[in-house]
Each structure stands twice: as structure tokens, then as C-alpha cells.
Structure 1
Amino acid sequence: MESLVDELAESISGRPREAWVRVAVDGAPAAEPGELADRLVAPLRVRGRTVLRVSAADFLRPASLRLEYGRSDPDVFYDEWLDTGALVREVLEPLDRGRSGKVLPALWDSRVDRAFRVPYETLPAGGVLLLDGTLLLGRGLPIEVSVHLWLSEGALARRTAAGERWRLPAYERYEREVRPADVADVVVRADHPHRLAVKVAR
């Protein structure tokens, strides 16, 4: 993991410093994309980059919309859980060239089903946004670097918590329709957490 973090941090920090860098770390929860995003913070700061961490899990729709058709529909999970419009509007578009850099780091607390009360934060030019989440690719999100943590079907099934196994068809659909391992900039084969294999896709 340490070598992967250093390699990614070096690549990200090498991008032009006059513009923001939006990085999406994508993967099923079993692959722990949030952990990788968290571990990138310190190495990027050491390299002189201001970093802002955001989780797509804090931009889910309210329960009244998210769970309208039940709590375990994989297609609704795939299509409707993430408030893509809010994520783009409040987090990603403000980091377009010439924009304000003013980002809302969290919108909706799905654990208690109410809005977070957090202030906007201004990321200075040249700063890095680290966004983690699942099913992020193929949505047209404006990002500069995409990292996908890939799990084989067997590893994904083994490592998915029992209460979340109903989501497995959504991940299968993601593989089939989006082919994240083909579209991500960096693909990390994460079947063996202590022996990660990295492939630069493009």
C-alpha cells in the first residue's frame, strides 16, 4: 500500500500547479476506496499541495427518494442513491478553471437523514480534491484523475458484508455497462490487500 500511495501522490502532485486537481477514488466498499483516499492526504501535503477530502457517501439522496422502492433494490442503488447533480454543483464544478474554488464538503447525513451543517471551504488554486465513492465512473463527473480499485467477482462476494450482499448485482452491472477497469486512469487490482497490483490504464 505504501508504494502505491507514494506512486499516486507523486503522479498527482506532478500535475500543473495553477489549476485544481480533482481525483476520484472509486471502488466497492469492500475495496476500501476511502482508506486509499485518506492515505493520500499526507503525502500530497508533504509535496506542497493543499488537500480537501470529500466522500460521495455524504451526497446521497434523502431516504424518501433513495428508499422509495425499498431498501434493497440493486438497480435503484445503482441509478438513484447518489445525488450526482449536487455532487457536481457543490463540489466539482466550483473547481472548474476560472471558478471560485468554494466547495461544500458534505451535504446529506444519510445515517440520520438530514442535512449536514458544515460551512463551505475554499480550496486554493493548485489544491487537490480527493473524492472517494462507489459506482462513480460513467456518470460524466468532471475529474482530472480517476483511480479504480478492482475486485474479482469472487473477492467482491467474499469481502462484501452480509447486510450489503444485495448490492452485488449493481456491481456486476457496473462492470458490464461502465467497464471501470477500462475507463479509469489508474486501476488497482485489490483482491489481495497486501499485494496490490497497479495498472495505468491511460
Structure 2
Amino acid sequence: MREKIVGEATKLLAVGGRDAVSTRAVATAAGTQAPTIYRLFGDKDGLLAALLDHGFTTYLEAKPPVDPDADPLADLRDGWDLHLDFGLTNPALFALMYGEPRSSPRPAAAEAGIAILRDRVRALAAAGRLAVSEDLAVQMIHAAGSGLVLAMLAIPADQRDPLLSDAMFSALVAAITTDDITPPLDGPVPAANALRAQLSDLNALTPGERHVLDEWLTRITTQ
């Protein structure tokens, strides 16, 4: 019954937006009564939280893991395009997921999605291509991608510039990466990022030494 209610609520959200997801409307669509929703979800906020979790889970299922053999920039672009396509295909759900500030922790599926993005950024770092810290790069990519989708959703579909996504991605790549390079790496930040991305494989160091080195490298990348 819980899955059926979430499914019907998702359909109502897609058709009528957040205002269409009332406990009465959802109960009717699911063939049950409002008390069942209160028992399973607590209240409307609990139901919306379940919708939020469902949205991130659906998004995560479509998000492929990092391909270790792929070009890291091409892999990042694939993730960017998937994010855009999901948002434009599911506008109401995307607005619920990314359009509102929240003080509560993100669902586990949302954290898993960020972890995949972090893996893609680490692949860039390991290749010596990252010009900023990994944390800053993750936040910039996440902000730019979600902001792009929300901005495009605010524009009628027939008025959206098809080149906007390409231009945004190019600007983002220029801000967080170095030019194509071959060793030696161009400057301390890409070198520090590349070494930090491979810290877990440095078996010659003790855990304590790796921890200290991580602090030093982080300080270099965030200077």
C-alpha cells in the first residue's frame, strides 16, 4: 500500500504540481482513506518526504557508475546530460528535489548520487586535470547543473536555447580544470589533487601518515 500511495502521489505531482498532492486526492487515487496515509506517513510533509526519497531513488537508478576506463571529462559530461534530461522530463519532481532549501538531511539516495559525482571529480583529479579542490568542484558542478535545469524549466520549452547546456558545461569545465597536459603537471594544485586522489593506494605510508599527507594536500588545493 505504501508503494501504491507513493506511485499515485508521483502521478498527481507530475500532472498538477505540489498543490495536487493532497492527502484526500492521493487517498482517492490509491483507493484508500486518508487515515491510511496518516498511519503510513504521519502527515502531508511525511508523504512529500517519501516522494522526495522516491525521486532521488529513481534518479540514482538511471545514473551509471563511473567508468574507470572512460575519459573523465566525457564521463562527467554524460552525468551532466543525464541530470538535465531527468530534470526536463520530470519537472515537478525535480523542483521538489532541488527547488526548495532544506535543513533536514538529504535522503540516502541523494547522498549516493553525490558520491558518484565525487567519484567523477576524483577521476579528473587523478588524471591531473583538476584546478580546484575536489569539494569545491563537486559543489560547483552540483550548483551549475541544478541551476541550469531550474532555469530552463522556467522558460517555455519552445523558447529554450539548445546551446545553453553546452555553454554552461564549457564554462564550468574552464573554471575547474586545467588544459590538456602531460607530466610534469602544471602547478602545485593539479599535482596535489592527483596525489590526493590516490592516497588510499599509498600502502608505503601508515594510516596516520596518509591522514597527515591528506591534510597537507587539502591545504594546497584550497589555498
Scaled by the length of structure 2, the TM-score of the pair is: 0.25
* Larger fraction in strand: 1
For CA contacts below 8 A with separation 6 or more, give which structure has more relative contact order. Answer: 1
Scaled by the length of structure 1, the TM-score of the pair is: 0.27
